[in-house]
Structure 1
Amino acid sequence: MIGLAVRTLRHRKGAFAGAFVALLCAAALVCACLMLLETGLRGAVAPERYAGTPLVVAADQYVRQSVDKGKGKTKTKAKPLTERAWLPASAAAELRRAPGVSKVITEVTFPFGGFIGHGWESAGLTPFTIAEGREPRAAGEVVVDARAGLAVGGTLRGRRVVGVTAQALPSQDTVFLSTAEARRLAGRPDLVSAVGVFASGDVPLPSGAVAYTGDERGRLEFLDAEQARVSLISMGGALAGTSLLVAILVVVGTFALSVQQRHRELALLRAVAATPKQVRRLVSGEALLVGVAAGALGAGAGLGVGVWLHATFVALGTTPANLRLVVSPFPPLVAFLATLGSALVAARVSARRIARIRPVEALGEAALDRGRLPWWRAVAGIACVAGGVVLALVLSGLRTEAAATPVTMLTALVWTVAVTLLGPLLARAAARVLPLRAAGVSGFLAARNLRATPAGLASVLSPLTLLVAMTCTILFAPATVGQAALEQAGEGLRAGHVVVGADAATVADVPGVEAVTPVLRTTVRVGLDKFSAQALAYDPRTVDLGVTEGSMDRFAADGVAVSTAAAARLEIGVGDPLRLTLGDGTPARLTVAALYARGLGFGELTLPYELVPGHVDDASGALLVSAPTLDADALAAALPDGAELSGASGPSVGGGANQQATLVALGLIIAFTAIAVVNTVAMATSGRVRELAALRLAGTTKRQVLRMLRLETLGAALVAAALGTGIALVTLAAFGAGMTGSAVPYVPVGTYALVIAAATGLALLATSVPARLALRVRPAAAVASR
């Protein structure tokens, strides 16, 4: 049968071109997503600043929790901290006394504008040496690196440049201050961020300290790289799974259309005594050959897509440039095997019906499309509808984007699979209600065609519905959360301005300023679960959190306000204790003072301001300013030098660069689905050459034939838009109910119209081009050749 399959492919290249393209794109997409996953699991970060230090000792940069697994067994789980954990300065003295230690270098690190600041005592970690000038000694002096473009005698942020180093680090701009000034600016005079140790043997570690060697030094130096690894693991895994499910759906549909177009050929084989097993082996052999070729090429192309994705994430700032992309045989091998398996499954499912009918009925079955739905397909379709309902109910109870996003994609996919399985029934119903007859002769022909061949309409409906449903879900799910956050922030902000780069007391002294509230954004963990948080000195003249229970009057140094959504997750209420871990790993025990409704606009937890500045890497924050009698120009003129003024707004809730990266990756799925639409519609049109030729022989003009095809496609696009929109609305309503508390999604009309227009335009383009090529063939020759 393989030999016959080879000859079939050789003489019917067009029939298999669509399946080849679908499989190739599927392999590339799955391979690229798996590369992200593997980079998250195995990616390493080479040290830069710590490259010259064999051993770096620092605090544990993870939150750890022991979980009871029963039968006396426990397992320790760990999650990375979002801020740097620091060590007591006394740890350096303890390390100096350890046997075999020849040198100990302490380090403090802190943001310094667009630079990373350090004390000069830590220059030997890299090492940095002075190329011009001298080291800093006083509070107003600074040494810059070789890339800064400044010379001795210049100024940087109000400080005089007294030296320039001979070195510069590849991915960070470095400045050095005097040791005392650096510790003052870091705000932690009794702590150090790390200790470099030079020793001849093993070194006993102080309590709470962790040793970092090799590439582990890079993970300590670049904490954002560790957080990026975690993001890549979750994103790569979710996208790889979604891509594979989409690929299977697309490939099954493409193969089904290919086999449907060859019913007459396969029926003839049954009529000349080919057994069902032989027919299945033939179709499987064809799928095997196409799958091997497409899988190999697609997996190779996927390596390039993976490299592009990684570079895009680096450009967006979600992945550090020094988190190297892992390239190994694993992603292309898995993509190849997954693609090949999808092809074989699709071929077996597609050939099931024609292989099982009796030989004497084969040609009649091929000639007439009754639009019947096999019992197993009807049962599977109903099961998918039930699964979609269950997933929607589950989704409506999820209140974190990390949990809701993969379920959202899965929900939309399951509903689309239900539409695909029940496609012939839906197509028959649609063909009866579409008002095509009003469009003259072409409309009459289009309506008769859709009624006579519901399977053909169903094959086009599936990818079009998938495109509309997935695109709307991907675009409007984050838009729904973002709009709810903007609305909550707009309702809750009483301040008219935001000031950064100024001291609260200084701004409060400006005439006309009524109230000033300092705000810091951070994240905390309760157990191992991460929550967004803000720290502020609460003042109802600048902020209204929408308190629903309790009172902010009880919000003191040991109090915490919790959003209603976070309180439901944590199962706590007013007066309950809350143990949490601050961003740098410091534990805190607070009491819930109030619950508030505007968690999307202001963060899930609100902490007392004085609790947080000593536990974040950047304590500059912002000031919410209420000055009813001052306009923006008057307030800006009264601010000190270096302060910046902007209109008041809530915290960034839309996800920023991380959300952009997710949209880029999900955009590949949309692109793949769009290719599937073009692919399927073009295959469906190309397979009707004989039919179009017969219409031409019967006296129909080319213009009428083209108009008929366009009307059929417009009808299919209209039905697919309705089905895809319905799927997206059900999914988004469940998503919104869980994430925002409202089942009404935010759908920008203009964006939605562009989605529908793009899907319709792609379908029309995929219809018109092959139709015009088919109509170039003389009708008599086309009928005879078929």
Structure 2
Amino acid sequence: MLGLVLTTLRHRKAGFAGAFLALLCAAALVCACGVLLDTGLRGSVAPERYAGAPVLVSGDQYVRQTTVKRKKGKVKTKRKAKAIAERAWLPASVADRVRGVPGVRTVVTEVTFPAEIPGAGREGRESWGHGWESAAFTPFTLASGRAPAAGDEIVIDARTARAAHLRTGSRTSVASSEPGAYRVVGVTRQAPRHQAAIFFSTARAARLAGRPGMVSAIGVSPASAADAVRAALRGTGATVHTGDGRGRAEFLGAESARIKLISMGGALGGTALLVAVLVVAGTFALSIQQRGRELALLRAVAATPRQIRAMIGREALLVGAAGGALGALAGLPLAFWLRDRFRGLGALPPNLDLVVGPFPVAAAAAATVAAAWAAARVSARRTSRIRPVEALGDAALRPARLPTVRVLAGLGCLGGAAALTAVLASLHTEAASSPVTMLTAIVWTVAVALLGPAVARAAAALLAVPLRAAPVGGHLAAANLRTGARRLASVITPLTLMTGLTATILFGQTTMGHAATEQAADGTLAAHVLGPKVPAGTAERVRSAPGVTAATEVLRSTVRVGLENYGVQGVTPEGLSRTMDLGVRSGSLAGLDSGTAAVSETAAGRLDVRPGDRLRLTLGDGTPFAPRVVAVYARGLGFGDLTVSHGVLAAHVDDPRGLLLVAGTAPRSVLTGASGPGAAPLAPSAVAEAKAAANADVNYVAMGLIIAFTAIAVVNTLAMATSDRAREFALLRLVGTTRRQLFRMLGLETLAVVLVAAVLGTAIAAATLCAFASGMTGGLPHVPPAAYLAVVASAAALALLATFLPARLALRPPPATTINTRE
């Protein structure tokens, strides 16, 4: 049996090349997703500025929830934790407690706040301000100058000095919560790679941090005191870090990025595997269909169904092993390419490196081999079960009816897709709806693939009339489509998958972005919008400017209700009705103050609250807050799920700078002059557009790989189907068909295939997107016509390219030579 398998592979290299390429791409895609997932699970961040503190004490960066369930006399306790969005601070009294722990020699506290020097941010590093006493964390030492003493003195790190062209004695402006001019009195020897450090005097740092009596971190030495410190702080809410744990406390964005990688790697990997199975199954089905005569001959010479299935299974194992191994190795550089793209988009911090272990490679190779074997066995099921006496006749004339099992499976998938569509319409959060959206589109496509021959016959019957209107090429195309329903179905499926997935991914993002920006634009009544980082005190100066009737400060963050994440905005209530219209449906924003909140309709439905109810939540820095709901509003996509007082939110975020909405007729020169650094005129929907664009770019990069894989499958399948028709082309040439007529026939066939696939893919995307839009926006999907035409045109271009190139190669030898070679 093995010899027969190897002989088949050797003499049918072209037939198995398509399956090999599909498996290789599938393995690469699954491996890359596995590396992302593994990085999210095991990735770590080395400390940089905290490298000199053997033990680090910080606030708890998680919201924790304990659930106790009693079932059949047993008690089950589940503990879950979710990261908060901002830095958790500690009372300064915690440092006093640490100083009293036996064995502790040194205790250093610090405060952290946003501070940037203009011109120093070109390298993309975060920039933070600190008091000079925390320089011992690294430790920072001075290359020149001295420590800051007066309020207008700073010390900067060496990389910042080079980037901003500063040295000891220079004067520069610093953008922070209170922007001002400072004199550089020192430059450090150290140059942190991933963050800029600006050191102020202790008194000025405490003032700029704006949290009296609080510290952001405590450094402790020696390392041997870690256990004693941990025991002394038990029950205080403080957490103790050593080793790489200090890096997670230092770079909060890295920890949230790890969590995103887990969800993204899992969702992308699962979607990639489903698409891969569908594509590989279609490729093997076409390959076995092309070998119908060969397999039928084996049955005619007494090969048993079990032997046929075993032979095809072993062929798949060999091809899958080769494609899976090479593809899994190719997935490693693909994972690094993804890392670079995500870093460029700001979704992945530069100091979180990929974890490259053996598990993703082995898992990708194993999954690919399993997919190949399963796809081949399923595709060979019908061919292996026919009776020997019918074998050759069956190979020459395909039956018109689909097997009952396949019809039932297709109808089952149609029912499952309809159920998923209904579920999707009831989901109101992007985190919940995104994976269901992709799964819905894929299940619809699986149903089309299973019922493909029936769909192809119906399409061929409909297209026969317009095709026959053309001369010889049209008649030939109509006849080929009618008699080659199985081949037509095999090429329609990948084209439908590509069109449906591309439209779903692309227009799902445009739907969300359009709804958010439209709500933000409609709800912004202010004549001017300044941002994105307007310093404290600017609002008061703008309010006193001539012609200004109201100025509303707007700050964005996220909070947790239980363990669920919700977007929140903080606004100054005074004059809010002249700058912002949230579309209030019940209650009134007139009662918005430091103890109340307004909730969007979507969030109110999920949380089951209405005006007058008490809502318990956790602010971004971990502080509990229980406001009373005073209003429910409609424009949640444009302005956030929750709205609270600006003063409440500003006291619990890392960066209290935000937008400023200005109503009135004040000249722009007055506004820009009063706003200072960090503020510039913006469009009303600029923030919503920027957020939507950032989310869309990350999703486009991630899901674009699946679309690229599907496009390769389209080219692969069409090329295989066209190459197998060399004998047919030669026969047509012998009976007098010209090359022009033959290529016209192929062009009409391909356009017919593209038309059918475009209709099916559009129907799949429309059903999925309408359900998605109904749940997320309450309206219809937003589909730019030019983008839709580009999707269809791309599919048509790929199909024509994959058809005409193999056809030219097949027609290169003389007709007689071609027939003799094949016979």
Distance 1:360 1:643, change over 3 A: closer
Distance in 2 (alpha carbons) for counterparts of 1:324 and 1:682? 39
Name which of 340, 347, 357 aligns with 1:318: 347
The residue type paired with residue 107 of structure 1 is E
User: Partner letter of residue 772 of structure 1?
Assistant: R
Q: Please say if 1:536 is aligned against 2:539.
A: no
Aligned position for 1:732: 769
What are the within-5 Å matches in structure 2 for residues 85-96 of structure 1? 85-96=88-99
CA distance change for structure 1 residues 215 and 637 in 2, over 3 Å: closer, same or farther?
A: closer
**Preserved contact between residue 512 and residue 692 of structure 2 (Cα < 8 Å):** no
Q: Distance in 1 between matches of 2:700 and 2:591?
A: 42
Q: Secondary structure at the match of 1:541?
A: helix
State which drifts further: 629-638 or 474-483.
629-638
Residue of structure 2 in register with 1:670 after alignment: 707
Deviation of 1:647 after TM superposition, in Å, equals 3.0
Q: Give the equivalent residue in structure 1 for 2:103.
A: 100
Please give the residue correspondences for 1:576-587 in structure 2 after superposition, counting only pairs within 5 Å.
576-587=613-624
- Whether 1:776 aligns to 2:817 is no
**Match of 1:36?**
36
Could you report, residue by residue, the CA deviation over 1:613-669 in whole angstroms, capped at 9, with x for unpaired residues? Answer: 110000011211112x24535643565566422233364364443432221010000
1:214-613 alignment, distance < 5 Å: 214-434=243-463, 435-500=466-531, 501-502=534-535, 503-538=538-573, 539-613=576-650
Whichever residue aligns with residue 419 of structure 2, its letter is: V
Matched, 1:75 2:78: yes
Determine helix, strand or coil for the equivalent of 2:134. Answer: helix
Between the aligned partners of 2:327 and 2:587, the Cα distance in structure 1 is: 58
Contact 1:371–1:453 (8 Å) recurs in 2: no
Secondary structure of 2:756's match? helix
Instruction: Determine helix, strand or coil for the equivalent of 1:293.
Output: helix
Q: Is the 8 A contact 1:601 1:650 kept in 2?
A: no
Residue 213 of structure 2 corresponds to 190
2-side partners of 1:633 and 1:758: how far apart? 48
Cα distance between partner residues in 1 of 2:326 and 2:676:
61
Aligned to 1:785: 821
List alignment gaps of at least 5 residues for structure 1: none
Structure 1 CA distance, aligned partners of 2:737 and 2:765?
40
Q: TM-score, normalised by structure 2?
A: 0.94
Aligned partner letter, 1:585: G
1:545–1:596 CA contact under 8 A, matched in 2: yes
1:156 correspondence with 2:191: no
Cα distance in 1 for partners of 2:618, 2:263 equals 22
Aligned to 1:751: 787
Identity of aligned residues (%): 59
- Is the 1:95–1:205 contact (alpha carbons within 8 Å) kept by the matching residues of 2? yes
1:59 aligns with 59
TM superposition shift of 1:297: 0.3
Please state whether the residue corresponding to 1:578 is helix, strand or coil: coil
Check conservation: 1:370, 1:453, Cα contact below 8 A: no
Structure 1 Cα separation of the partners of residues 785 and 489 of structure 2: 28
Of the structure 1 ranges 111-120 and 717-726, higher mean CA displacement relative to structure 2 is found in 111-120
Residues 650, 575 of structure 1: alpha-carbon distance in 2 compared, 3 angstrom cutoff: farther
CA distance in 1, matches of 2:682, 2:281: 53
CA offset digits 1:171-217 (Å, max 9, x no partner): 11111001111111111121000000113433243322110011100
Change in 2 beyond 3 A, CA 1:782/1:104: same
Is 1:705 matched with 2:717?
no
Q: Please tell me whether the aligned partners of residues 517 and 625 of structure 1 are also in contact (alpha carbons under 8 angstroms).
A: yes
> What is the CA deviation profile of residues 519-566 of structure 1, one whole-angstrom value per residue up to 9, with x for unaligned ones?
100000000000001000131000000000111122222111000000
Quick one: distance in 2 between partners of 1:247 and 1:69?
A: 40
Whole-angstrom CA distance in 2 between matches of 1:438 and 1:205: 89
2:187 maps to a residue whose letter is: V
Aligned to 1:687: 724
What is the alpha-carbon distance in structure 2 between the residues aligned to residue 488 and residue 658 of structure 1? 17
Total equivalences in the alignment? 784
How far apart in 2 are the matches of 1:760 and 1:469? Answer: 14
Letter in 2 for 1:379: L
* Contact residue 603 and residue 651 of structure 1 kept, 8 A: no
Deviation at 1:761, TM superposition (A): 0.5
Contact 2:142 2:189 (C-alpha < 8 Å) held by counterparts: yes
Point out the more displaced range, 70-79 or 6-15.
Answer: 70-79
Distance 2:340 2:750 in 1: 38
The alignment partner of 2:186 has SS state of strand
CA separation in 2, counterparts of 1:578 and 1:265?
71
Deviation of 1:357 after TM superposition, in Å, equals 0.6
Inter-CA distance 592–644: structure 2 relative to 1 (3 Å threshold) = same
1:127 to 116, 119, 139: 139
What residue identity is the alignment partner of 2:545? V
CA deviations over 1:413-450 (Å, ceiling 9, x no partner): 00000000000000000001112111110000000010
- Distance in 1 separating the partners of 2:190 and 2:40: 30
User: Letter of the aligned partner of 2:266 in structure 1?
Assistant: G
Task: Output the CA distance in 2 between the equivalents of 1:79 and 1:681.
Answer: 47
Equivalent position of 2:14 in the other structure: 14
> How far apart in 1 are the matches of 2:601 and 2:144?
58
TM-score by length of 1: 0.98
- Distance in structure 1 (CA, Å) of the matches to 2:678 and 2:45: 35
**Contact 1:493/1:650, CA 8 A, preserved across alignment:** no
Matched, 1:205 2:232: yes
| CA-CA distance at 1:515 after TM superposition | 0.7
Q: Is the 8 A contact 2:518 2:685 kept in 1?
A: no
Q: Distance in 1 between matches of 2:678 and 2:754?
A: 56
Measure the CA separation in 2 of the matches of 1:674 and 1:633.
Answer: 52
Instruction: Measure the CA separation in 2 of the matches of 1:678 and 1:599.
Output: 43
State the match for 2:178 in structure 1.
none
Cα distance in 1 for residues equivalent to 2:687 and 2:69 = 39
- Distance (Å, rounded) in 2 between the aligned partners of 1:110 and 1:358: 79
Q: Deviations over 1:671-721 (max 9, x none)?
A: 000000000000000011111111111111111111111111110000000
Q: Which amino acid aligns with 1:240?
A: G
Note if contact 1:495-1:626 (Cα within 8 Å) is conserved in structure 2.
Answer: yes
- What is the CA–CA distance in structure 1 between the aligned matches of 2:666 and 2:396, rounded to whole Å? 81
Q: Is the 8 A contact 2:543 2:551 kept in 1?
A: yes
Contact 1:20/1:291 (8 A) holds in 2: yes
Letter in 2 for 1:645: P
Shift in Å, 1:125: 0.6
Aligned pair in 2 of structure 1 residues 506, 631: CA closer, same or farther (>3 Å)? closer
Between the aligned partners of 1:579 and 1:355, the Cα distance in structure 2 is: 64
Runs of at least 5 residues in structure 2 that lack an aligned partner in the other structure: 122-126, 174-180
- The answer as to whether partners of 1:601 and 1:651 remain within 8 angstroms in 2 is no
What is the rounded CA distance, in whole Å, between the counterparts of 1:750 and 1:466 in structure 2? 20
How far, CA to CA, are the matches of 2:172 and 2:62 in structure 1?
35
Shift of the alpha carbon at 1:153?
Answer: 1.1
Per mean C-alpha deviation after superposition, the further-off stretch among 631-640 and 745-754 is 631-640
Q: What secondary structure does 1:147 align onto? A: helix
